[in-house]
């Protein structure tokens, strides 16, 4: 892998990790509010 | 055409962009799915907690996205041969096939589980059936085998209002079944209008679409037949007393306009370099038609709930 490719690899990995983190956070909040709504 | 037996697309060294995963869910198609699902949910008698209503729509969208990802995983090589689909993440070589398959399975399973645990299990079961219907019955089984693929496959797109309705009521009655039937009858003229002007694409990749297998004349007549059938079916929710006159008048006006646009398509012969204007017009109107019809259903319900009609 060239340095440019490695930089691109890391950029993609970082952006994917951010999106996955955001989704997990969203799901945690969603399950919390579903629990309250169903009580 | 199992993926293992087909030539691999260009291998990717870099991990796929998150945008490509999003593109796998066919966001434009999903907007119609979300809209009809939301209309089913809003038109249903009774009420649902807003959080649970939001969850139901989210699950319908996730399920549709998962089914779309599985569709693209299976059809990557077919998509590569068609101009309309060649830029999708898999045929363009921006993603590995197994990633697309795993992503599709993951979000499909998540949508069914969340629907079941958060909303109700009948809605979850219908959602699971709709994903299976689209990904397996339509994509894998029927689409490559029969020119009736789109007729039976149309059922897959017809599930969202039924699921939205069941999310509220928890049971299946005649009204949500009629909403299902409306989309079921709408799909063939909608899709065949498109297939008429992208016929060469389907012929090139060996998909037995009606215009390719039975010819244009037969397809045009069948577009008309389904458009005629759509008139009583779209008005049926009014006839059975499930809606008031606002929906009834809107459905008659919209479906008669749909029928009027299908008439020139039905009795036309095309020549060389035909611009296919009537077909393109019918296709464009068919999308507006479905949005407007379901919007009328919700407006009717809101006005009835307010006691104004």
Contact present, B3 and B100 (Cβ < 8 Å): no
pLDDT for B187: 95
pLDDT reported for residue B205: 82
Name the pLDDT band for B285 (thresholds 50, 70, 90).
very high
What's the rounded mean pLDDT across residues B128-151? 92
pLDDT score for B39: 95
Measured in angstroms, the CA of A30 and the nearest CA of chain B are apart by 8
Average pLDDT, chain B: 91
Nearest to B49 among A5, A31, A37 (CB): A37
* Predicted complex ipTM exceeds 0.95: no
B51 contacts chain A (CB < 8 A): yes
B45 touches chain A (CB under 8 A): no
Which A residues 9-28 touch B at CB under 8 Å? 9, 12-13, 15-16, 19
pLDDT in tens, B80-108: 988 888 999 999 999 999 999 999 999 99
Average pLDDT over residues B9-33: 83
B183: exposed, middle or buried (Cβ count in 10 Å: 0-12, 13-18, 19+)? buried
- Of A1, A9, A30, which has the smallest distance from its Cβ to B15's Cβ? A9
Which residues of chain B have a CB within 8 Å of the CB of A38? 49, 52, 118
pTM of this prediction?
0.89
Chain A hits for B58, CB-CB cut-off 8 Å, are 30
- The values of phi and psi at residue B73, to 5°, are -60, -45
Q: Is any Cβ of chain A less than 8 angstroms from the Cβ of B15?
A: yes
For the cut 70, the answer to whether the pLDDT of residue B9 exceeds it is: no
Residue with tokens 């089984």: B141
**What residues in A contact B14, CB-CB < 8 Å?**
5, 8-9, 12
* pLDDT score, position B268: 86
Say yes or no: A37 contacts chain B, CB-CB below 8 A: yes
**Token output for B95:** 């993603």
Helices marked H in chain B = 18-24, 27-43, 50-74, 76-80, 97-118, 121-132, 149-169, 174-197, 199-205, 210-213, 216-239, 245-266, 277-305
Give which of A20, A30, A35 to mutate to test B binding, by max B Cβ within 10 Å. A30
Give B-chain residues touching A9 at CB under 8 angstroms.
14-15
Average confidence (pLDDT) over B126-138: 95
Q: What is the pLDDT of residue B244?
A: 95
The pLDDT, as a whole number, for residue A1 is: 79
What integer is the mean pLDDT of B283-295? 96
pLDDT band for position B32 (50/70/90)? confident
**Residue range A1-39, pLDDT digits in tens:** 788 888 999 999 999 999 999 999 999 999 999 999 998
CB contact under 8 A, A38 and B52: yes
Reported as a pLDDT band with limits 50, 70 and 90, residue B156 is: confident
Q: What is the pLDDT of residue A35?
A: 96
In this structure, are residues B195 and B211 in contact, taking their beta carbons and an 8 Å threshold?
yes
Q: Do B17 and A38 touch (CB under 8 A)?
A: no
Q: Note the pLDDT of residue B6.
A: 47
């Amino acid at each position: 892998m060239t340095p440019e490719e490695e930089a691109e690899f890391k950029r993609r990995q970082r952006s994917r990790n951010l999106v996955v983190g955001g989704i997990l956070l969203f799901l945690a909040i969603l399950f919390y509010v579903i629990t309250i709504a169903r009580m | 055409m199992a993926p293992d037996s087909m030539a691999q697309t260009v291998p990717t060294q870099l991990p796929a962009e998150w945008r490509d995963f999003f593109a796998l869910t066919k966001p434009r198609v999903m907007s119609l799915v979300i809209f009809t699902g939301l209309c089913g949910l809003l038109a249903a008698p009774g009420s649902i907690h807003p959080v649970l209503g939001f969850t139901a729509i989210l699950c319908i969208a996730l399920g549709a996205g998962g089914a779309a990802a599985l569709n693209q995983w299976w059809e990557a090589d077919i998509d590569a041969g068609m101009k309309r689909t060649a830029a999708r993440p898999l045929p363009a070589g921006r993603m590995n096939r197994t990633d697309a398959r795993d992503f599709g399975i993951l979000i499909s399973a998540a949508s069914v589980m969340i629907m079941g645990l958060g909303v109700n299990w009948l809605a979850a079961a219908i959602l699971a059936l709709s994903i299976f219907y689209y990904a397996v019955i339509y994509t894998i089984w029927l689409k490559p085998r029969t020119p009736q693929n789109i007729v039976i496959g149309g059922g897959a797109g017809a599930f969202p209002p039924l699921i939205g309705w069941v999310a509220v009521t928890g049971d299946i009655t005649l009204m949500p079944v009629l909403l299902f039937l409306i989309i079921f009858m709408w799909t063939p003229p909608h899709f065949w209008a498109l297939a008429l002007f992208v016929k060469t694409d389907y012929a090139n990749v060996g998909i037995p679409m009606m215009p390719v297998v039975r010819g244009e004349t037969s397809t045009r007549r069948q577009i008309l037949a389904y458009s005629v059938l759509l008139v009583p079916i779209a008005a049926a929710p009014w006839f059975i007393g499930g809606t008031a006159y606002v929906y009834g008048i809107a459905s008659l006006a919209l479906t008669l306009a749909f029928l009027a646009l299908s008439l020139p398509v039905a009795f036309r012969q095309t020549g060389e370099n035909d611009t296919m204007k009537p077909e393109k017009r019918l296709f464009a109107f068919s999308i507006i038609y479905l949005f407007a019809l379901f919007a009328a259903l919700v407006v009717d319900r809101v006005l009835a709930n307010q006691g104004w009609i």
